[in-house]
Amino acid sequence: MSFNNLDTLYRQVIMDHYKNPRNRGSLEDESVTIDMNNPTCGDRIELHLQIKDGIVEDAKFEGEGCSISMSSASMMTQAIKGQQVDDAMNMSSIFSKMMLGEDVEDIDLDLGDIEALQGVSKFPARIKCATLAWKAMEKAVANEEQQ
């Protein structure tokens, strides 16, 4: 597949998650809630995680922002649902490396739709948009572990 076709496909995946977000909403029962924002652009997320016995049983988000931040939140919640907390944190670490432009091709982990955000690394001003949900997840896990 040529670069232009791949770029177009990735843009379509991002816009699909933006226009049809997965896991949008809130959780009531026994969930950890984290509010975070990106003051440089106004993106805001409220992340809800339900963690039991070291597993992310459910993940939802609310918020507003650009297509990158909202798509990333949609992709992240979809990817971490049902995962061990350690695996979700590992995925976050890999995502951060990808945003820094590091090669993640050799990593034995299927990132699925998340790979569509790889091109964001070429636009430093947008990296915080893409990582906002992931930073919220890391903070939620840290808060859960402290309880």
Q: CB within 8 A of 69, min separation 6: which ones?
A: 38, 43, 45, 63, 129, 130, 132, 133
Predicted pLDDT of residue 112: 87
CATH number at residue 91: 3.90.1010.10
What is the rounded CA–CA span in Å between residue 73 and residue 137?
10
96 residue type, one letter: S
Length of the chain: 147
6 has pLDDT over 60? no
Mean pLDDT of all residues belonging to the chain: 90
Place of tokens 């029962």: 29
48 residue type, one letter: H
pLDDT digits (tens, 9 = 90+) for 27-54: 987 789 999 999 888 999 999 999 999 9
Domain region containing 141: 3-146
Question: Number of folded domains in the chain?
Answer: 1
Mean pLDDT for 79-105 is: 92
Using an 8 Å Cβ cutoff, are 74 and 17 in contact? yes
Predicted pLDDT of residue 104: 75
